[in-house]
Amino acid sequence: MTSEANPQVYSDATKAKGTPIIECVGVDKFFGDFQALYDINLNVGSQEVVVVIGPSGSGKSTLIRCVNRLEKHDRGTITVDGIELTDDIRNIQEIRRETGMVFQQFNLFPHLTVIDNITLAPRQVRHEPKDEAEAEAMRLLERVGIPEQARKYPGQLSGGQQQRVAIARSLAMKPKVMLFDEPTSALDPEMIKEVLDVMVELAKGGMTMIVVTHEMGFARAVADRVVFMSDGSIVEVGTPEHFFTNPQEDRTKLFLSQIL
Amino acid sequence: MTASAPPVIRRSPTEWVKENLFGNWWSGLVTVVMFPVLVFAAYRTALFVFVNGQWEAVTRNLTLFMQGTFPREEQWRLVVQILLFALAFGIGAGTNAASTRDTAEDAGLSYSRGSFGETLRRMWSLVLFIAILLYFATIDPAGSIWAPFALVAVSGAVAYVGFQARLFPRSLRNLGWLLTAILLLFGFQIVSGFDAGGWIPLALLLAVATWSVIPGERFPSRLIGIAVKVIAVVVVAFVVRLVYAAVDTTGIGWDQWSGLHLTLMTSAIAIVLSFPLGLLLALARRSTLPALRWMSTAYIEFIRGVPLITLLFMGQYVLAFLFPADVELSRITRAIVAMALFTAAYVAEIVRGGLQSLPKGQTEAGQALGLAPPTIMRRIILPQALRAVIPAMVGQFISLFKDSSLLTIIGILEFLGVREIVHAQADFRGVAIAETLVFVAFGYWAFAFAMSRESQRLERRLRVSR
């Protein structure tokens, strides 16, 4: 179901957010013989927050991993900020520099200190001088609330702190879009809030975000649109009010009844 | 909440024995049976070492075991080498202690303050070996008694002075490492001579140092930064070459080395060569380019299927066919090449294991940040993969060190091979064979054990950042 298919639900919000920064048209993705994504059509506007929900195995993660080419889509086109994803490695790297990604398992570099984790990409990719990169890293650590951990190693931090470092690491590349792949799923319950708070701040600051999550509270409070996926297809798209109070599709109703 | 130490359980020796040696009936039985066996073994060993052993075969040939047939009138070169190596060891250990302390302090972890004595204790097998050498030197009536003691004392003092590199400010940490490398190189070249291509290693070392010291990103454009770096590196290499041309002394080529000296040098060189080669092979085997992958796989599987001794013989007889006729490789060069090629295949497999042990998320995180694949390999994957395989790799190097004794079979008189000269002497023909063997075995063990201890320590230290 494309975004054009139910304009009555969300088009006003999208259009108000300006030009689309991510455009997926007719995206299919296969793992061997298994089709993981069916004809995905999704536009994300600049400064928009899109939350993707759905049962596990529905292709949510695969979708956002296609956006920065951690997975290669097999059919259709994906365009990020005017650059279409092709096999050209330069294209891919350009898109990856504009999209930050936060993983479920944090994926911090355990052999580097927190500050080195954050400054690695700015120094290697943009060739920033060390002191400038570190000053920026400290600002980012202030922003995620853990400047005092700068010289520690990831293994010394709690899960919530690690995920906040991972967010700071992505922000260091000044991305235009942030992709969140179940950022709180590997966290103990008491740490989820500290990470969500950072994400809420980020959204308020005008960051374009696609968030795959099971945190319905976050979706309700922050999302401009909620996308519900099932079995590799987008089943329903809508504003949070519409989505949680008046879902149209049976599949969506069933899912919501199971989790709420 | 107040912090409290965990409870300490104190046991008297009797309680310990009761608990651990006679805890239940079968443990008691094992103790009762094994105790006499151990006592008997210790008794026979002591009898051999202190009473029956005819150690003259060793004591009268100590110099032979150490330096073999190395020209006696050039012995000063070995003395200077030992002193330079002692200084390098001191500076290296001091720098290492300091950088361990830096890491721990930054991360807010506790650390034990590295001391010189602690470093020596870690190498107790080598200290014991040197003590035995000194003791043997006092028995030998022909040699000078004070010279060995003086050498050990001065070396120790030099190493201790070098260890003070731990007091260097943090910004000079890399200078400590550079000094260590340069001193090791000079220590080698004081024996081998500074002629021919001798300038190349130092030029490479200083080139790398120059490249990393110049802050390329400070220049107006990246291209200018790189240009400045390249020019500086070329100038440095050129100066090194000029200096070497001015010094140009002929040394003692390694075809004249032998004894323990040769064993240590060949092993060290083969280890240093095999590591980068093995690393490249491992990367090639994981390459996306099929040609590279097949060649690397074929090489690794060929080498792993052939015994080292065969390769050593091939090095002597086959390697000559692979080079132009006018290239003359010495026997020792060919042996070192064979050992390095052999070990590289095993290092490659060990490194490949390390690469495979890393979770996929590490590469993905690097990709997501827009890092180029070579950068991901160099900055993210390799540092972790190599740390993970330190024990296995050092094990392979220890193996190489011990296997260098096979050079005896192709007629090179290294540490083990010196025995042939000793037992060709009129006094020791067919006599004291066990004694020389035990001595040589002990020598190998002292070095191999020290290497193993060092790798354990390295492993522990790097665990801080995991």
The 10s digit of each residue's pLDDT in B81-136 is 999 999 999 999 999 889 888 888 888 777 777 788 888 888 999 999 999 999 99
Average of per-residue pLDDT across A101-117: 95
DSSP H or E segment with residue B400:
helix B390-403
Q: What pLDDT shows up at residue B141?
A: 65
Write out chain A residues lying below 8 Å of B101, CB-based. Answer: none
Tell me how close the Cα of B147 comes to any Cα of chain A, in angstroms: 47
Residues in chain A: 260
A-chain residue closest to B223, CA distance: A127
B370 in reach of chain A (CB within 8 A): yes
Structure tokens at B214: 């110049």
Task: Give DSSP secondary structure letters for chain A.
Answer: --TTT-HHHHHHHHHHT-SEEEEEEEEEEEETTEEEEEEEEEEEETT-EEEEE-STTSSHHHHHHHHTTSS--SEEEEEETTEE--S-HHHHHHHHHHEEEE-TT----TTS-HHHHHHHHHHHHS---HHHHHHHHHHHHHHTT-GGGTTS-GGGS-HHHHHHHHHHHHHTT--SEEEEESTTTTS-HHHHHHHHHHHHHHHHTT-EEEEE-S-HHHHHHH-SEEEEEETTEEEEEE-HHHHHHS--SHHHHHHHHHH-
Q: Report which of residues A138 and B321 the model is more confident about.
A: A138
Can you tell me whether residue B298 is helix, strand or coil? Answer: helix
B260 has pLDDT over 90: yes
**How big is the CA angle at B236 (ends B232 and B240), to the nearest 5 degrees?**
170
B316 has pLDDT over 90: no
Q: What pLDDT shows up at residue A8?
A: 40
Here the ipTM equals: 0.90
Q: What pLDDT shows up at residue A11?
A: 41
Single-letter amino acid code for the residue at A49: V
Q: What pLDDT shows up at residue B457?
A: 84
Q: What's the rounded Cα separation, in Å, for the pair A198 and B331? A: 67
Taking a C-beta distance cutoff of 8 angstroms, is the pair A45, A19 a contact? yes
Q: What pLDDT shows up at residue A193?
A: 93
User: Given B109, B380, B464, which is nearest A109 (Cβ)?
Assistant: B380
B230 in reach of chain A (CB within 8 A): no
Interface of A with B (CB under 8 A): 68-70, 93-94, 96-97, 99-101, 103, 105, 107-113, 120-121, 123-125, 127-130, 151-153, 155-156, 166, 169-170, 173
What pLDDT band is residue B4 in, cutting at 50, 70 and 90?
Answer: low
B465 has pLDDT over 70: no
* Least confident span in A222-236, B236-250, B387-401: B236-250
Q: Report which of residues B23 and A132 the model is more confident about.
A: A132
Cβ separation of B368 and A68 shorter than 8 Å? yes
Taking a C-beta distance cutoff of 8 angstroms, is the pair B271, B400 a contact? yes
Tell me how close the Cα of A217 comes to any Cα of chain B, in angstroms: 27
Tell me the C-alpha to C-alpha distance, in Å, between residue A210 and each of A172, A243, A257, B55, B92: 18, 17, 24, 79, 50
What pLDDT band is residue B189 in, cutting at 50, 70 and 90?
Answer: very high
Taking the CB of residue B43, how many other CB atoms lie within 10 A of it?
A: 10
B248 has pLDDT over 90: no
Q: What's the rounded Cα separation, in Å, for the pair A201 and A218? A: 12
Scan for tokens 């009898």, then name that residue.
Answer: B47
Cβ separation of A151 and B106 shorter than 8 Å? yes
User: Given B365, B375, B379, which is nearest A107 (Cβ)?
Assistant: B365
Average of per-residue pLDDT across A157-164: 95
Q: What pLDDT shows up at residue B463?
A: 67
Q: Quick one: B198 exposed, middle or buried, by C-beta within 10 A (0-12, 13-18, 19+)?
A: buried
B321 has pLDDT over 80: no
The 10s digit of each residue's pLDDT in B420-442 is 999 999 999 988 999 999 999 99
Can you tell me whether residue B176 is helix, strand or coil? Answer: helix
* Least confident span in A23-27, A100-104, B1-5: B1-5
Closest CA to B119 of B145, B98, B147, B140: B98
What pLDDT band is residue B194 in, cutting at 50, 70 and 90?
Answer: confident
Per the prediction, chain B carries an average pLDDT of 90
B305 has pLDDT over 60: yes
Q: How many CB pairs under 8 A join A and B?
A: 94
Q: What pLDDT shows up at residue B300?
A: 96
Q: What pLDDT shows up at residue B384?
A: 94
A221 has pLDDT over 50: yes
Q: What pLDDT shows up at residue B116?
A: 86
Single-letter amino acid code for the residue at B88: A
Q: Report which of residues A199 and A258 the model is more confident about.
A: A199
Q: What pLDDT shows up at residue A15?
A: 39
Helical packing angle, B433-463 and B390-403, nearest 10° = 160
Work out the end-to-end distance of chain B between its first and last CA atoms, rounded to an integer number of angstroms.
29
